[in-house]
Amino acid sequence: MNREIRWKQRFSNFKKATMQLTESIEKGELNKLEVQGLIQCFEYTFVLAWKTLKDYLEEEGFSVKSPRETIQIAFQSEFITDGHAWIDALEKRNLMAHTYDEARANEAEILIREKYFQIIQELCSKLEKLL
């Protein structure tokens, strides 16, 4: 498959996921189940984010193999601005998949709202301008 088409197709799914995440964020205060939904929505949105970014970078001629490498190359090439937030989100996303207690879920919700949502939105906007 043509790499340019691939990133654009994946971007379509990433954009939909970002819109769902936006709805959860804008809802305001969430109950326990809604917090779990927000965390899960962030998890798959983040996966789509780095995979879309990987596909885009490959179309640009980069060779990337892992999420961490994708983030590092995107930061080094100044495609993303907050590399630390992306690496932090990558590490925390792996932990969030195992978040069963309420305190950790609340901590994850705060990180998503205050830190990670912004980097997801920035990437979505930047990629949309390239279409």
How far is the C-alpha of 44 from the C-alpha of 76, rounded, in Å?
A: 25
Rounded distance between C-alpha atoms, residue 128 and residue 131, angstroms: 5
Rg, Å, the chain Cα set: 15
Position 4 scores a pLDDT of 75
Architecture of domain 3-130: Up-down Bundle (1.20)
pLDDT tens per residue across all 131 residues of the chain: 576 789 999 999 999 999 999 999 999 999 999 999 999 999 999 999 999 999 999 999 999 999 999 999 999 999 999 999 999 999 988 777 766 788 888 899 999 999 999 999 999 999 999 99
Distance CA 88, CA 94 (A): 10
What is residue 98's predicted lDDT score, i.e. its pLDDT? 67
What is the spatial distance between Cα 95 and Cα 75, in angstroms, rounded to a whole number? 23
* Residue 123 pLDDT: 98
| pLDDT at residue number 101 | 80
- Asked if 71 and 83 touch (Cβ cutoff 8 Å), the reply is yes
Ranges of each domain in the chain:
3-130
What pLDDT is stored for residue 16 in this prediction?
Answer: 98
